[in-house]
A and B are shown apart, each in its own frame.
Chain A
Amino acid sequence: MTTPVSISLTVNGERVEAHVLPRLNLADFLREHLKLTGTHVGCEHGVCGACTVRVGGEIVRSCLMLAVQVNGAAIETIEGLSDSGEIADLQAAFRDRNALQCGFCTPGMLMAAQDLLRENGKPTREEIREHLSGNYCRCTGYHAIIDAVENAALARTEPQA
């Protein structure tokens, strides 16, 4: 049974059928098989958050899920959120506030930040910090990232002119 297992899922709205080995994790499946390399692989044991994706609308660590486990699921990656424009304002806020340097953590940060803003339109800085606490950044020191998320949240809740 270490032979490939067939799976069927959607990734960013597109139907995907594949044969995968049980040991293949979702992050590697997205990167190596589907060439969606926006999902980053950092620690490979669930600590750094760089591989955060959405499964069924909820954020998860894609390094801690097997590709065989997402059979029948709907996956959204940073490419999906970026292309749809869902996080265009967050991306702009990150850029404006210099909330990234090397950019390695940024896809995971954006996934986690958007997850927060969908649940809580007006998070406090403490709530932002808490929601991003599972995502490591080794360059910026987090303050700029929290500023950027706060700015994006404020802009979203401002009454439209």
Chain B
Amino acid sequence: MKASAFAYARATSLANALELLATHGDKAKVLSGGQSLIPAMNLRLVSPELIVDIGDLGELRGIAVKGETLVIGALTRHADLLKSSHIVKCAPLLAAAVAHVAHPAIRNRGTIGGSLAQADPASELPACMLALGATIVVRGKGGERRIAAEEFFTGIYETKLGPQDLLVAIEVPVASPGSAHFFQEFARRHGDYAIVGLAAQVMRQGDRFADLRLGFFAVGDTPVLAKAAAAMLTGAAITPELLAEASAALASELNPHEDQQATPAMRRHLARVLLARCLATLLNRPDLQTGAGV
């Protein structure tokens, strides 16, 4: 189908974009890379009266390291993330995840800010933000707000962004030496939205985890930081029995949906498989993958 008619405004500055949003509120939609918004408009799932195109706002584009923080502009495209040496060095989890986001032609247009604002619970980057402990930087009528990723995602396609807000940047703590990551997802086809996925950022201490952040996605209305499972696995010697207990805790932390791809039971099972693979990979313990945990 074709999108219904709308008015179009090309924002000339950040201030101009915020003015347009302040005036038009929820009648307007922000156009960034358009790789989620335009399909939704073509399917007539959304019919905004006004499109505010922020594509020309160069100040929202780019990746920089400021001290211990990696700052990613909202308009930074997936393709830019994939090619960035800053990302590989400071947030390798993100580099691993972006390779799973859609296909080359989509990654050439889609932006990190757009993906986070869209907040599709089956998409990769929101879960990465949870695992990385990122901060989402938002400008609105009242000035700038900084929202922890854990607070930002509130429901299916829902975030703390109000109709007059613009997501301007993402701040990610630079990965500390000795940290490690794991990213894997189940999808019917490479580049599809996940059936279930896991983005994990950890600190190891010998054969244990000093810190473990497990960001699951496609397991409910929002990406989920599996805190109960992580708490059980932090600081402890990882045995197959402990993994089994943590897996049980994980299953009760998730609230997956049924759709044409999988039942909730299948999604819980796949999440447990990913947890076992994550631990086995990061601790180099193949025994954990065949243990009772799965």
Contact = CB atoms under 8 A, between A and B. Distances in A.
B19 to A, nearest CB: 15
Interface in B141-174: none
Interface string B127-145: 0000000000000000000
A52 B35 CA distance: 13
Chain A interface extent, by class: 20 to 34
B104 interface: yes
B108 A130 contact: no
A23 B4 contact: yes
Interface stretch (A61-69, A82-90, A93-101): A61-69
A52 B105 contact: yes
Contact of B39 (A5, A45, A129, A131): A45
Interface of B: 1-10, 31, 34-35, 38-39, 42-43, 50-51, 53, 55, 79, 102-106, 108-109, 189-191
A106 interface: no
A18 interface: no
Contact of B189 (A52, A63, A133): A133
Contacts of A64: 34-35, 38-39, 106, 109
A49 B105 contact: yes
Contacts of A66: 8, 31, 34, 38, 51
B269 to A, nearest CB: 26
A2 B7 contact: yes
A63 B3 CA distance: 11
Contacts of A116: 104
> Which among B1, B105, B190 has the highest number of chain A CB atoms within 10 Å?
B105
B105 A21 contact: no
B40 to A, nearest CB: 8
A130 B190 contact: yes
B6 A22 contact: yes
Contacts of A134: 102-106, 191
B103 A69 contact: no
Interface in A55-83: 58-61, 63-66, 68-69
B39 to A, nearest CB: 4
Given A49-B103, A49-B105, A64-B109, A44 B51 contact: no
A1 interface: yes
Nearest to A116: B104
Contact of B50 (A1, A44, A46, A69): A1
Contact of A23 (B3, B10, B31, B191): B3
A69 B32 CA distance: 10
A63 B51 contact: no
Given A45-B43, A130-B190, 15 more contacts: A21-B5, A22-B8, A23-B4, A25-B2, A44-B2, A45-B38, A46-B106, A59-B105, A60-B105, A65-B34, A66-B34, A68-B8, A69-B53, A115-B105, A116-B104
